[in-house]
Amino acid sequence: MSKYTERITNYHATKPLFEQHVDLITRPFTDIVKSQANFIREFGLDKAVGVQLDVVGEWVGRGRNVSVPITDVYFSWDTEGLGWDQGSWQGPFDPDSGFTQLSDDVYRMVLKAQIAINTWDGTIGHLEEILETIFAGSGIDMQIIDNQDMSITINAIAINGIANTSAELISVIKAGELNIKAGGVRVKSLNVIDPAHPLFGFDTQSTAIAGYDAGYWS
């Protein structure tokens, strides 16, 4: 029954045909409200899939197709599978990158990053909350370092090791699709770090950086 039948007066409540008539002419309004609620659920960022997620992407302003480097194709010295008679020669008009269509899980992260950029208030505290929300459960610990010269250094630490982290996600990070920064600030360095191979650094020790005989040159 439509919720509008609850407003029928006592006198008319004893008239079955009257109640049925009110229900008939008001039920479409109730159905519309239910349909709107379903739209909100189906197109919610955490539940949307496939074309639904594509529509959300149109609203947010980020498409599913992204540019990624072309790897393991062109000839290269000292690279297994790309040596003589294996790798293809890269001509002057052969591209260094191509386009790929992201999976729902990774595309969802890209959309969350874009929404975060649109709503970020510019503070470090808010940025930390944003990074935790975007990369929760992904196996990536994202660190952004302010170099105090209008540039930042981004360290994406693959907590479980790069080999155990989504290759698609790693590619998207390297392509800069998940960078969050203020306008006018450049990315000085973007590193994807395996805890088993931390970067070399003087007088510091962390998951991403180690000293002599432990850290690796970037």
Which pLDDT score is estimated for 132? 87
Q: pLDDT of 87-112, one tens digit each?
A: 666 677 766 777 778 889 989 989 98
DSSP state of 206: S
Which pLDDT score is estimated for 150? 92
Instruction: Tell me: pLDDT of 217 over 60.
Output: no
Q: pLDDT of 103-137, one tens digit each?
A: 899 899 899 888 888 888 888 888 888 888 888 88
3-state helix, strand, coil in the chain (%, to 5): 40, 20, 40
Euclidean distance between CA atoms 137 and 166, whole angstroms: 12
Which pLDDT score is estimated for 72? 61
Higher pLDDT, 189 or 197: 189
Instruction: Tell me: pLDDT of 54 over 90.
Output: yes
- Specify which residues 158 forms β-bridges with: 140
